[in-house]
Structure 1
Amino acid sequence: MLTLDGSCRCGAVRFSMRSHAPQPYQLCYCSICRKTAGGGGFAINLSADAKSLTVEGADAIAVFRAEIADDGDCRTSSGERNFCTRCGTALWLYDPTWPELIHPFASAIDSELPVPPARTHIMLRFKASWVTPDLGPDDESFDLYPAQSIEDWHRGRGLWLD
């Protein structure tokens, strides 16, 4: 496993967690990621062991749960997007649907991350009109979510860390 150390922009929050799947390969273009975590929508969630999370500065963290409109119905996402209340940095997403996992945003990680051999572009159905995805020759793209999990992607490429 690889230890992922991260922080917010202003330094009020520092955190650490352990990851079997540290390749920042998955780029999300959904409006939630785009508007809460970054410009062209290139938010990259990693995967880590939720039990390994340690946090300094927890008093500066708040949680945002997005409203999701599906076919005219609106519901509140179960995903808890943790962010720094002082500088707005998106830190990680936790979803109680998968309590063993936590998904730090690669943009908040200070540790060196490996360069992925290819990227997976997801939620392209919701990308901003001004964004042209930069698809590499081995990249995959999906209008919504791929069937393959972050764990399966890493294992299938021999990149899962024990």
Structure 2
Amino acid sequence: MRLNGSCHCGAVAFELESAHPYPFNRCYCSVCRKTAGGGGYAINLGGEYASLQVQGKQHIAVYHALIDGEPSPAERHFCRHCGSALWVYDERWPDLLHPFASAIDSELPEPPQTTHLMLASKCGWVAVESHGEDKRFQQYPDESLAQWHERHGLTR
């Protein structure tokens, strides 16, 4: 699926291919919550790094979150003007790019199930809207973005 995204002020626009476009993972970790957070969580999609096309690269800044006091190799890209979180790239997985669902302008498909992860980092005031067969994890989930899509027969 072709994903088109942008920042709030319009300085940055991007597009990429995604075989895993369902926004099912809600991450409540302090990094996602504080850098991208709507609703106390952030949602990442899976995309193909090689397909990324960006307009307005000069308006992008990168943040390396501190994890256990050390800078993470993961690059969190955001608009330097409006602060919109755009995507995460990590050289440890060079073929992948993880755009934030909140930056995607394309109509995303509705997931049949939601995974709530990093609940141990959730703020007390955040209500987890969990339904039916949703999965909940105090830390990381037991399957990847790709595995979740494959289990549901949703790989595009």
> Fold conserved (TM > 0.5)?
yes
Identity level (%): 53
Q: How many pairs align?
A: 156
Shift of 1:41: 2.4
2:79 to 78, 81, 84: 84
Structure 2 match to 1:8 = 7
Structure 1 match to 2:41 = 42
Cα distance in 2, alignment partners of residues 160 and 86 from structure 1 = 35
Superposed CA offset, 1:45-90 (max 9, x none):
0000000000000000010000012xxxx21111100000010000
Higher deviation after alignment, 82-91 or 127-136: 127-136
Cα distance in 1, alignment partners of residues 39 and 13 from structure 2 = 25
2:154 to 150, 155, 159: 159
Cα distance in 2, alignment partners of residues 40 and 145 from structure 1 = 19
User: Which runs of structure 2 are paired with 1:11-160 in the superposition (5 Å)?
Assistant: 11-69=10-68, 74-160=69-155
TM-score when normalising by structure 2? 0.98
Shift of 1:42: 2.1
Cα distance in 2, alignment partners of residues 142 and 40 from structure 1 = 17
- Kept in 2, the 8 Å contact 1:121–1:139? The answer is yes
TM-score when normalising by structure 1? 0.94
**Matched residue SS, 2:155:** coil
- Kept in 2, the 8 Å contact 1:4–1:19? The answer is yes
Cα distance in 2, alignment partners of residues 47 and 115 from structure 1 = 15
State the Cα RMSD in Å: 0.7
Cα distance in 1, alignment partners of residues 108 and 133 from structure 2 = 20
Cα distance in 2, alignment partners of residues 144 and 29 from structure 1 = 9
**Matched residue SS, 2:113:** coil
- Kept in 2, the 8 Å contact 1:23–1:115? The answer is yes
